[in-house]
Structure formats: structure tokens, C-alpha cells
Structure 1
């Protein structure tokens, strides 16, 4: 959770109805940042909630005592977001869910996987598309998104990597892939 960004997101007039979902430690921190409690939803590992047509399941992450990753299910599409996590064999369990997309931390700092561990996990999960996270945002995060994509495509056999541009909006279709909007 980026404690610098969340208050700005919450204060933006375009986000008046935005909810913030997270494990207890994150919700406690959001309350300390004076985010309105009506906008906060607690979710613990193993729990699921549905908002609109999206099922959100909190899954295991190896970071802090209550850290979570997320499995987002939209009718026929599943997206796995690792969140902040180090590699653990427990993370492989998400493969049973057969996510089509995987957004994976790769920065190798502050309790997050490095590229080698992220590639290993991605190879176990076997999503159709892998998107590296936690890159090019902070000067000290020097992991190469392109190197992650190269290794994932080399080792996985079926996974294609995709590097998103910060601040850009994308649409996706199974026939056309990602398109920058």
C-alpha cells in the first residue's frame, strides 16, 4: 500500500465513490490516513467478496502476517495479482484457479520477488499473459520489466509478457490483445 498515493486517490473528485479493499493491517493504516471508514472494506486471506460483477478473493502472499494477493473474477476472465510477496510454494496453489492474466511483482526489494523468483512462479501458474509490477516507479526499483518478459516467454512456453506504460489506459480483447486508449 502506497501511503503517499492512496490519500491523493481518495481525495480526487473523480474517485468519490471509490472503495478501498485490503487486509486488516492496511485498513488500520488507511484509517490513520483519515480515509472515510465508509469507503473501507476488510478482506482476509481466503475470503471473497463481490462488488458489481467482480468477485474478489484474497489469496496468500508471503510479505507480512496478513498480506494478500488478489484473484479477480469477471464472468469468464480471471486475473491474479500477486501483491507484495516473496516466493513461496504456497503461491503455486493459485494455478488451480487458472488465471488468464497474472500481474507479478518483480522488483526484488522490500519483501517482493526478484525476477528469477517471479519467472519461476509465473511458470508454475501458466497464465496467458504476465504483466510485471513494481518497476520504473521508484529510482531504487531497478528490475527490468523487459527482462522479466523475456524470461517468462522463454521458460513458460504459453505465457506472453506485456509491459504497461505508467499512467496509460488499456483495453483488452482476447482477439486483439491489449490496446492503448
Structure 2
């Protein structure tokens, strides 16, 4: 599998299918691509905030790609013309030969539309299984003790972990999250997009590798790596 960071919390997973997660591309100063440049089979969205839902509906329409997300957000996407697959925490859905298991996240969730806030269910993370590789996208979250269960139940190979602080856990929390989940590889995300979430990924790498032994891959937006 090739895993490419598109800035903020957006990732492209490429194997026998192309999976796009949290496609905040337009309006994202860190994104190396525009929505119309991305061709995908399926999209996953962790929650309805604009920096995660992003361009999902537009890309869904153009690519005829299902958007996998929490049930309430799926209704919003469908009402706006997107192809939505709603599910809920703890469930596993197989969509286009990709397995999506929805797991908890500690955050908030809504969509802003014409100056109104619309409730779109709770935030989530995903364990995505494609071609035998399991990638845990933690979504926007603080560290929480039940991450240990996610590790025990799903044994993710790669964890995509926020380190930006302010809106999510910071570096110390992210290191603890790796201790609980025990992935083989971790990739920091949700940092550096805006000044308020500026963090040093090399500091995270050093602390994480020294304390947990988990290999940390630091990417620049547009960069990817192959796993295994």
C-alpha cells in the first residue's frame, strides 16, 4: 500500500483501490492538490467539520465514490447530492472491497451551512483494511484509554495520529496513544496547517521512537511511503 499525506488530516491510500480520507483540499494552504485532480474509489470522513468533510461531496459526485461516515453525516451528504454510506461506532462496513471499522474519537462534530450549525452525529476514527494492511486514522481526538482496545481488537499496522494540540491532542498525548495502540508505523498529522497548530514533527518522532519503539514516518504534504 502507498500512503500519501495531502496535508492536515487528508490521506490517500493506494492499493487495489484508492481510498481518500478527510479530503480538506480546497482552502487548505498545505494541500498539494486540488479536488479535481484526485480520482478515487471510496472516501471516508471522520466528522463534519469543514477541515475534514472538506471536498468530499464534490469528489463523490465527480468520481461516483461512496462516502463512508457516521450515519447522521451520511444523511447530510445524501441531501446535498453525494453518495453516502452511513454507519456507526463499532461497526464494520465493506465498501468496494475495502473494510472500514468505525472506532471512537474524543472531539466535537457539526456542519456549518449558511451561517447555521447542523448536528451531524459524533466524531469517529477509522481502521481501514485494504489488501491485508490495516491503517488506523484516529481522526480529531485526544488520547483515551480505550485506544488500547482498538490496538488489541484491530492490530493496525499504521496509525495516522494528530499532534497539533489546541484542537486535538499534542505531542505528549500522541506518544501515549502509540503506547496504547502499538502500531508498527506512525505518521503525524493535523499540524502545521495554521499557526495555532504548529508543532515540530521531529520532536514527536524522537519522543515516540525513544519511548515506544514505533517507527515514525514524517511526511511533507504530497509525500508518500510504501507499507510494508
Which residue of structure 2 lines up, in the alignment, with residue 102 of structure 1? Answer: 159
Distance 1:127 1:62, change over 3 A: same
Q: 2:139 aligns with which of 68, 75, 83?
A: 83
Misfit runs of 4+, over 6 Å: none
**1:53 counterpart = 2:97:** yes
Tell me the distance in 1 between the aligned counterparts of 2:139 and 2:52: 16
Name whichever structure is richer in helix by fraction. 1
Which residue of structure 1 lines up, in the alignment, with residue 211 of structure 2? Answer: 155
Which residue of structure 1 lines up, in the alignment, with residue 71 of structure 2? Answer: 24
How well do the aligned residues superpose, as a CA RMSD in angstroms? 2.4
Is the contact made by 1:98 and 1:127 (CA closer than 8 Å) also made in structure 2? yes
Aligned length: 168
Is the contact made by 2:100 and 2:127 (CA closer than 8 Å) also made in structure 1? yes
Tell me the distance in 2 between the aligned counterparts of 1:69 and 1:77: 16
Q: 2:188 aligns with which of 124, 129, 132?
A: 132
Report the TM-score when normalising by structure 1.
Answer: 0.80
* Runs (5+) with no aligned partner, structure 2: 1-47, 109-120
* Cα-to-partner distance string for 1:77-132 (whole Å, 9 max, x where unaligned): 1111110111211122111121110001111122x111101100112212111001
Q: CA deviation at 1:170?
A: 2.6
* Runs (5+) with no aligned partner, structure 1: 175-181
Report the TM-score when normalising by structure 2.
Answer: 0.65
Larger RCO, structures 1/2 (Cα 8 Å, 6+ apart): 2
Tell me the distance in 2 between the aligned counterparts of 1:156 and 1:80: 17
